[in-house]
Amino acid sequence: MIMDNTVNIAIFASGGGSNARKIMEHFQASQIGKVALIVCNKPEAGVLDIAREFDIPSILITRKQFYESRDVLETLEKYNIGFIVLAGFLWLIPDYLVQAYPNKIVNIHPALLPKYGGKGMYGMNVHKAVKANGESQSGISIHFVNEHYDEGNLIFQATCALKPEDDAATIAKKVLEVEHRHYARVIETIIQTMQKEERNDL
């Protein structure tokens, strides 16, 4: 009998989707996980074009649907999704999803949490704040998602050095490079650990 333990991954994204692209590329060649669905909340988001390019189904959700119905959960179940990756997704994850996917939702934040996290701290806002404080380094934080912005347990961090002449745009570029280098690989390791723990529970 052939056992297929490949976990179906859903990527939630709101923007250009450069991290989503890296993750799709990575898991094309993986036995551990497969990107099976893209969930997006912005009709003009670049990630929707990337999904088409990779022939991965996508859904566009409204705020009302996300917070006042269980449509998204039903779709995740339909696609047999076992793991959720946030890659530049800017809405807070509702309680019902956190409870349905305990320690199975991860986020990447473009700074070294617990600094520069919380509501309103996303994208360029983060890098502008890092610049305003004259930090000599920034980096990335990958963490589990709970009901609060950027507060779930940390899984992985990596840093990049900043120079005094860096502005918010060059900081953003440096941080994005670090994200691209690590996120897919760290996701794969988390899924492998999750599978081992589930096997030990049997």
Q: So which residues are the catalytic ones?
A: 109
Position 18 contacts ligand GAR (CB under 6 A): yes
For ligand GAR, the binding residue among 87, 112, 142, 187 (CB under 6 A) is 87
Residue entry with tokens 């997006």: 40
Residue with smaller CB distance to ligand GAR, 20 or 56: 20
For ligand GAR, the binding residue among 27, 101, 122, 144 (CB under 6 A) is 122
Indicate the length of the chain as a whole number. 202
d(CA 58, CA 49): 10
d(CA 88, CA 93): 13
Nearest to 47, CA basis, from 30, 23, 31: 23
CA distances 71 to 39, 62, 74, 116, 181, Å, are 12, 10, 5, 32, 33
Position 19 contacts ligand GAR (CB under 6 A): yes
For ligand GAR, the binding residue among 110, 116, 184, 190 (CB under 6 A) is 110
Those residues whose C-beta lies under 8 Å from the C-beta of residue 68, and which sit 6 or more positions away, are none
Starting at the earlier edge strand, list the strands of the sheet with 105-109. Answer: 58-60, 33-40, 7-13, 81-86, 105-109, 137-144, 154-161
Give the interface segment with ligand GAR, choosing from 17-25, 33-41, 69-77, 191-199 (CB under 6 A): 17-25
CB of 116 to ligand GAR, least distance (A): 9
Nearest to 116, CA basis, from 51, 74, 41, 171: 171
For ligand GAR, the binding residue among 7, 15, 38, 40 (CB under 6 A) is 15
Position 17 contacts ligand GAR (CB under 6 A): yes
Position 139 contacts ligand GAR (CB under 6 A): no
Position 142 contacts ligand GAR (CB under 6 A): no
CB of 14 to ligand GAR, least distance (A): 7
Sites of contact with ligand GAR (CB under 6 A): 13, 15-20, 87-88, 108-110, 122-123, 126, 176, 179
